[in-house]
Structure 1
């Protein structure tokens, strides 16, 4: 077949024989799909371990309500020491590490500082450890690095001249992590396009998407096809929804952009006194962050401990309200957890903050039925922090089964992301560039 001839169509038998006779192509496909299943199961195991870690911390808190004042700072210091001493590449979210590993200028030994089986195992155990300490972190960003490290290992089994390269494996792995973590394969595909790469090569796009979907199906097989936050039931939205909805979008854009800017400044560091203290005494600094998180947790009645899934689900289902200053306390607790240097993500805390913000605006505007504003807040705040609006809107839509609000959620994500871009640069890209710059600075 001549690809330059616009009138020529493929010959069915010829094309089929070529596909079926190319054993290298089929071996590569089998390897990728086997690793996709493994990555999906790893994220499922990570989810199970994280949930038990949260339950363990709740048991400790119910046994002795003041125990977090000792346990959380001591545990945070221990996690920070382990990270610095043995697994520096496992710190933080994990998404910037995968983005850094996608840099084509890295040598293989440099790429292993960002993704590897060793880092995947460390990320899994230490993020769950952070949740056991009550830290306000999520497991979704770490799932990206865990799955990418596993998928990247598949390169050693691929035949020579395979169409699948390291770049494709990392993209598939990172997106598979999102798909399995959120039980949302469509969000994984969009994450691959929006965050990890501007394009997916045509010759491998089908296999990459297949790996993403297969990893997501592992979560469906174990946890079922239920939405994380249930199903929102929204009646027809009238003009009375417009002003509160705009308030949610603007508030999410401003707060989310400011929060992302704060996270960037804290992680990268500067010439201020706290950055110098963190650089000189990182373990003590982590202990101080842990103590502050414990105090915030006690002040909020325990609602700022952990990832915030329970609070978010209760808000979506209309079963509870949040304590006074919940949004502010949750923002500070998440910021301190990230600043401590312990492995952990910000997706779940951002969803919790957005849900609380939507709930507060519903109360402020006396809107009956706060669920639509809560869903808008979740999509808007996550989009403002990550500046990945399409991924954010799809995640929320799939997690609350919010197909009735598709256009509203999309508008919230796009609007909040636009406002956020006036305040800060895209967080994950900036952190990735800082990591690469640090790597070049310390290169021999």
Structure 2
């Protein structure tokens, strides 16, 4: 039939174009480098927080000095040398992907140099003992590595900068959480919103290669480990699950709104002092986080995955009702994450959100004396992540892959949708709003430098 593809002719064309194959090798090589960058990021971040924990264990008062001093040092350094590293990393990628962003301005948000600086800055924040994560920053790190492949691709490759950045961002999420489907859905729901056939192929290749590198280094485990929630009926979780979703929606929406306030500032003396003395303000926030670390014995700082494992172990042993302290960890972790964002140190919210959500689920299980503690913790992780990011499908897929929770698909989906809906009543979408503010600030002249540091960049 006329118009049918000619297999032999297409095969000759495909195999005969050496330059096209070289371009593919370049893309695969950079996908490997992106995976290696996330592996190095993970190792360095874990080592940094491990050193902080050792310091805190050696002297309980050490964080009261160490955290504010190191926080101020990191903030001064990034404001002086790498202002583009500030923030979580996802808004920066959204801004670079926006059609309104000039091509020459993309390096302010995504580049190989910023990727390396981001790894060091986030690790510095964990070394200081702040409540931040590395999953969001992994998006910017991997996107910067993949975009660097542009200089080696031929003009006939047909691969755009946008495709490279979307593939890198998706690979960053997939490698950080070891959730390939989560990376794909994140790219569709948050980064791209529409994918061409060629873009989807490039994205899948980057996810597979970067994911294989991460699996080779750490094994086939997620950052939080495998949480095997018990299989329960959807109806058994209806009432407690609704409570978890509503609580996550309210708290997640509030945290999202507070983080937007930290990004934009408010017309009050508190924010005026922050604008005038950003480094001193960061030290004061660091001291407050240090106090929380002392009170919580270190549980409420860092990413929080160790405490999440403790909650899950207690739920599996049926010891939650006896040993659990309701609302204590959840409240302290919430405040520590908010204050850490206000310092201006680069850091993500994915990891802390999962930890806070686990605390919400454990609190509800304790309050209602529910026998399904592990399942409610999984719902809490899903609901809070969906509420903060307002990407319910991504949150559901990530938690489902992390928990092997295919039997809980309906419960996770319902919890994510309800929590996201409640959050939207409280706060605007976190990442897209930050990205819009970044693009708007690019068009404004920069104000004079504050007294103790250079002007806060629009890439915050």
**TM-score normalised over the length of structure 1:** 0.95
Residue 171 of structure 2 is matched in structure 1 by 176
Between 395-404 and 378-387, the greater mean CA deviation after superposition: 395-404
1:372 correspondence with 2:375: yes
Cα displacement string for residues 31-54 of structure 1 (whole angstroms, at most 9, x for unaligned residues)? 111101100110001001111111
> Does the 8 Å contact 1:229/1:312 carry over to 2?
no
Counting only pairs closer than 5 Å after superposition, residues 15-94 of structure 1 correspond to structure 2 as: 15-94=10-89
Residue 274 of structure 1 is matched in structure 2 by 270
- Extract unaligned runs of 5+ from structure 1: 3-7
Residue 328 of structure 1 is matched in structure 2 by 331
**CA distance in 2: counterparts of 1:188 and 1:239, whole angstroms:** 30
> Does the 8 Å contact 2:234/2:408 carry over to 1?
no
1:257 correspondence with 2:260: no
Residue 243 of structure 2 is matched in structure 1 by 247
Residue 145 of structure 1 is matched in structure 2 by 140
> Does the 8 Å contact 1:304/1:330 carry over to 2?
yes
Aligned to 2:230, the other structure's residue is in SS state coil
Between 13-22 and 349-358, the greater mean CA deviation after superposition: 13-22
How far did residue 441 of structure 1 move? 0.8
Aligned to 1:110, the other structure's residue is in SS state helix
Residue 296 of structure 1 is matched in structure 2 by 292
Cα displacement string for residues 374-400 of structure 1 (whole angstroms, at most 9, x for unaligned residues)? 000000000000011111111111222
Match of 2:426 among 423, 434, 444: 423
Residue 354 of structure 2 is matched in structure 1 by 351
Residue 210 of structure 2 is matched in structure 1 by 215
- For the aligned residues, what is the CA RMSD? 1.7
> Does the 8 Å contact 2:333/2:356 carry over to 1?
yes
- Extract unaligned runs of 5+ from structure 2: 448-460
**CA distance in 1: counterparts of 2:234 and 2:411, whole angstroms:** 12
1:318 correspondence with 2:299: no
How far did residue 18 of structure 1 move? 2.3
Residue 452 of structure 2 is matched in structure 1 by none
How far did residue 365 of structure 1 move? 0.7
**CA distance in 2: counterparts of 1:236 and 1:286, whole angstroms:** 45
**CA distance in 2: counterparts of 1:238 and 1:391, whole angstroms:** 21
**TM-score normalised over the length of structure 2:** 0.92
How far did residue 230 of structure 1 move? 2.2
Cα displacement string for residues 336-373 of structure 1 (whole angstroms, at most 9, x for unaligned residues)? 00110001111110000000000000011110130000
1:434 correspondence with 2:437: yes
Match of 2:184 among 186, 189, 213: 189
Between 277-286 and 322-331, the greater mean CA deviation after superposition: 322-331
**CA distance in 2: counterparts of 1:305 and 1:13, whole angstroms:** 60
How far did residue 9 of structure 1 move? 3.0
**CA distance in 1: counterparts of 2:203 and 2:178, whole angstroms:** 17
> Does the 8 Å contact 2:282/2:343 carry over to 1?
yes
How far did residue 300 of structure 1 move? 1.7
Counting only pairs closer than 5 Å after superposition, residues 88-103 of structure 1 correspond to structure 2 as: 88-103=83-98
Aligned to 1:150, the other structure's residue is in SS state helix
